[in-house]
Copies of this chain bind each other. A is one copy, B any other.
């Protein structure tokens, strides 16, 4: 492999000039710059960027901490984040944490030891649980909730859930089951608040038995739905806190001979690609995953560069999408 001395020799300039041409081209005359670039192309020189990073104390890499890359919402987000990162000359280090604090710490240490410059956190985290990440580490929380501190991007989970439950109420449903995420998940907490608010405003008392706990996987939705099938008075609608659990739940309902939406309406959250292709297609809330990914990268770069943020928190709009999994309830039939 050719080295910097080969380039200098061919260009007829000093090694220091080649070095400056690579790191501070504005300090080199146009004439020398052209000679250096031609020589680099001719000898096929590949500068050692690890050395540049060492000198600039910048890794040109960010870590994205994701609870589960196999969740399609996260993969869409990461695709957009990576796109923007590449435009800005940054690499994306994938930190699939499986929700364990130890794996998170391992990645946080990479930033502490300068192997990455900052973190995009995708674990929904509240004030208490975010404290894993030391305050001197540049970080953006991109799956924020109402109590997220620090630079954050989020949707209004409570309002979106309330919109969905209001829609079910308007269809004449009064007994609405919930398939929730794990009870201490900040998104599940916010979305449950929205459900309770909608019921309260409609004068319908909250019933604890109508909440079934899942963990955002299809399999957990499939299991949670049995709780509703086995009730003496079944709910006529299910508000699932994500699409995957809704897709799992629909399989249980169909296996039990419960027609969707004639006997029971089902709604999701996220608008993953499959929700258009489920049978019936799923009424859901669309999160702007790609917009969130781009915005998270831009915000993190500002934090890394020490630039002031115009907003500490961005709340992005969601879209309410009506498909075929919802229909009139007992009050409207």
Residues from chain B with a CB closer than 8 A to the CB of A95 are 82
Contact at B75–A94, with CB atoms within 8 Å? no
Contact at B50–A114, with CB atoms within 8 Å? yes
Q: Which residue, A70, A103, A222, has most C-beta atoms of chain B within 10 A?
A: A70
A168 adjacent to chain B (CB < 8 Å): no
Q: What are the interface flags for A66-96 relative to B under an 8 Å C-beta threshold, 1 for contact and 0 otherwise?
A: 0011101001101100110010000111111
Query: A133 to chain B: closest CB distance in Å?
Result: 14
Contact at A78–B69, with CB atoms within 8 Å? yes
Binds B, one of A23-31, A145-153, A271-279: A271-279
Contact at A277–B51, with CB atoms within 8 Å? no
Contact at B46–A113, with CB atoms within 8 Å? yes
A48 adjacent to chain B (CB < 8 Å): yes
Contact at A115–B82, with CB atoms within 8 Å? no
Residues from chain B with a CB closer than 8 A to the CB of A60 are 115
A57 adjacent to chain B (CB < 8 Å): yes
Binds B, one of A174-182, A233-241, A246-254: A246-254
Contact at B106–A49, with CB atoms within 8 Å? no
Contact at B69–A75, with CB atoms within 8 Å? yes
Contact at B103–A86, with CB atoms within 8 Å? yes
Q: Which of B46, B69, B76, B92 contacts A93 (CB 8 A)?
A: B92
Tell me the complex Cα distance, A93–B78, Å: 12
A226 adjacent to chain B (CB < 8 Å): no
Residues from chain B with a CB closer than 8 A to the CB of A273 are 70, 218
Query: A228 to chain B: closest CB distance in Å?
Result: 18
Residues from chain B with a CB closer than 8 A to the CB of A278 are 277-279
A42 adjacent to chain B (CB < 8 Å): no
Q: Which of B51, B79, B82, B110 contacts A91 (CB 8 A)?
A: B110
A4 adjacent to chain B (CB < 8 Å): no
Tell me the complex Cα distance, A112–B273, Å: 36
Contact at B248–A277, with CB atoms within 8 Å? yes
What residues make up the interface of A, taking CB atoms closer than 8 Å to B? 46-51, 53-54, 57, 59-61, 64, 68-70, 72, 75-76, 78-79, 82-83, 86, 91-96, 103, 106, 109-110, 112-116, 218, 222, 247-248, 250-251, 254, 273-274, 276-279
